[in-house]
Amino acid sequence: MEQPVIEVNRANVTFPTNNGPFTALSDVSLQIQKGEFVCLLGPSGCGKSTLLFSVGKQQKLTSGEIRFGGQPLHEVGAFHEKVSIVFQEHALFPWLTVQDNIQFPLKVKKLPDKLAKETAEHYMQMVGLSAFRDRKPSQLSGGMKQRVGIARALAMETEVILMDEPFGALDAQTRSALQEELIAIWQKERRTILFVTHGIDEAVFLADRIVVMKANPGKIKEIVPVELPRPRDTTSTEFVEYERRIKSLLHYEIMSAQRAGERPA
């Protein structure tokens, strides 16, 4: 078996709170292969973002380790050249145009101007925003803003892209259009994608493997490989069967997370 791009080994993350330490991630182990599309799915508060940000080096583990290409994270030089992140709240610069938002990190990376421009152009076209290149974020729809965020992450040309509910705030139609675009781009460019979502249908549509998590403390409950050909037909019996299976895995977790939340402190 090939060396995984990302290896999470027995990761724990504990936060100090007024009621004492709170375990957000407990004994999480996960391996992700190059080019894989992996979705993290689970109830609110089960540690999806914490796990994603730990992989993105933005959250320190309390114990355990994460390796990137076989190396401990802290030893990976120029990490920002290997991993990019797309947030739910498309963190765009409001004063920059679409083109400049996509180009900005390339300038930071000190890419020569011409190359930065060509690269931004390529990905701007890929997400269908060329006609809007001169607009500011405030002049774009939510879906367009997400496209800018995705184009910016793609333009970094990192091996791994981390996405935290990037389509969470969009209407169903825009979301489904962007899911299809993302898969088409991923099939063309073969990046490794770790994608957080609340949506069962979204996970079954996108993922090679779905990491189903549970809350209190945040743990992996089960990893479900989705063995469906692409492009996936969301109306097929097999697709619906995956949805049903994952829903029943999650149902129990959502109920028990709610019960824990209702308990008086």
Q: Which residues bind ligand ATP (CB under 6 A)?
A: 15, 17, 22, 24, 42, 44-50, 198, 218
Q: CB of residue 48 vs Mg ion: minimum separation in angstroms? A: 5
| 3-state SS, residue 154 | helix
**Partner from ligand ATP, Mg ion, none contacting 22, C-beta within 5 to 8 A by type:** ligand ATP
- Is the link from the previous residue into 264 a cis peptide, with omega within 30 of 0? no
H or E segment and range at residue 172: helix 172-189
Binding part of the chain for Mg ion, among 44-52, 111-119, 154-162, 252-260 by CB under 5 A, reads 44-52
CA distance linking residue 235 with residue 231, whole number of Å? 12
Minimum Å gap between C-beta 47 and ligand ATP is: 4
Q: Residue 46's binding partner, choosing from Mg ion, ligand ATP, none, with beta-carbon cut-off 5 to 8 A by kind?
A: ligand ATP
Distance CA 44, CA 35 (A): 27
Residue 181 tokens, joined: 């675009």
Tell me the closest approach of the beta carbon of residue 217 to ligand ATP, in angstroms: 9
Instruction: Single out the segment in contact with Mg ion by CB under 5 A; choices: 45-53, 185-193, 208-216, 228-236.
Output: 45-53
> What phi-psi label fits residue 47: left (phi over 0), alpha (psi between -120 and 50 degrees) or beta?
left
Structure tokens at 119: 């690269």
| Residue 103 touching Mg ion (CB under 5 A) | no
Q: Does 49 sit near Mg ion (CB under 5 A)?
A: yes
The DSSP 8-state label assigned to residue 3 in this structure reads: P
Task: Rank residues 98 and 149 by Cβ distance to ligand ATP and give the closer one.
Answer: 149
Q: Give the interface with Mg ion as residue ranges (CB under 5 A).
A: 49
